Amino acid sequence: MTKRLPALALVAVMFAWASAFVVIRGLGSGPAPHISPIAMAEGRLLVGAAVLGVIWGMNALYNGGVRLPRGRTLALTVGYGALWFALYTVLVNAAEQHLDAGTTALLVNIAPIIVAVLAGAFLHEGFPPLLVVGIAISFAGAAVIAFTGDGRRDGAGVALAVAAALLYGISVVAQKLVLRTVDPLTATALGAGVGAIVLLPWAPRLFDELAAAPIGSTVGVVYLGLVPTALAFLLWAYALAHTSAGVAASSSYAVPALSILLSWIFLSETPTAWGLLGGALCLVGVAVSRIRIGSSGRRPGAAPTATARPPAESARPTATPAGASC
């Protein structure tokens, strides 16, 4: 049974991230959504930062302290906390007011290509030809979704989701630099804390909206902070420590499919045929961009570092999800 725990942890993480897209859609869709995108993001980050902060504090006490970022590293931490934890979350929430959960998950999963481009440009990891091919395929998929849907509505959703993926990519590269000197739990807890602080001016709006909304909306916001944010990070870290990085990273390809399944079960929504085709092209593009000809390994930089959840560094288990988490 112990040998199965890492695999079970990975399954739980994939379901947690997939469920986030569905819960966001349920809370923010409809003619009169109960929770606005920015208030939902603030509620999620307040809960997630509180839980991760407690765990981080206990870890610091147990280990006799931790190394905190300073100078340039601190600036990078504040940067990805604001761009990734705060703005990325707001954009995903806003995208799901226009797109179903599955389509949004498919689009956001072009993020690894953006990470690879930025790593090639700023971290000198190169631009293999298949990366360029993968970019073309993925953005063709995004165009299919944008121009075969419901006019302006789908176009706005695609733009928001792609913008979220861009912020994800920028932030992963920034976090990669931070993780050279800061442990993953500290990097994640501080990032979540920065994100919550950035959105703090909208806290009164959050409480006003929750007061007027059904109790299920409050449960949904707490769930987003507790499960896909805090709990998923801990399970991911555990899984990475007990399984191969390749298996762990590749497992995140399941997130869009699980999002579609859960959306169908709980919201009776599925992507259109064009949406599925465009989403499939997005994932194919990501897969192509990660191929390295003449090597059994992944292309360098294709899975560069930790995301908001997984840890990475040369001294630790390394890998990012092959697709963006939520």
Q: What is the pLDDT of residue 274?
A: 81
C-alpha–C-alpha distance, residues 271 and 288, integer Å: 23
DSSP reduced 3-state for 219: helix
Q: Which contacts (CB < 8 Å, 24+ apart) does range 200-205 have?
A: 200/42, 202/38, 202/39, 202/42, 203/42, 203/46, 205/36, 205/38, 205/39, 205/42
DSSP 57: H
Q: What is the pLDDT of residue 141?
A: 82
Average pLDDT per 10 consecutive residues for the chain, totaling 326 residues: 80 92 88 83 97 93 85 94 95 93 86 78 76 83 72 76 90 85 89 96 96 93 95 82 67 82 89 82 81 52 41 37 62
Domain ranges of the chain: 3-289
**What residues contact 253, with CB distance under 8 A and at least 6 apart?**
109, 283, 287, 322, 323
Task: Give the DSSP per-residue string, 92-106.
Answer: HHHHTTTS-HHHHHH
Q: By the 8 A CB rule, do 262 and 18 touch?
A: yes
Q: What is the pLDDT of residue 172?
A: 82
* Chain-centroid distance, C-alpha 49: 16
C-alpha–C-alpha distance, residues 74 and 258, integer Å: 36
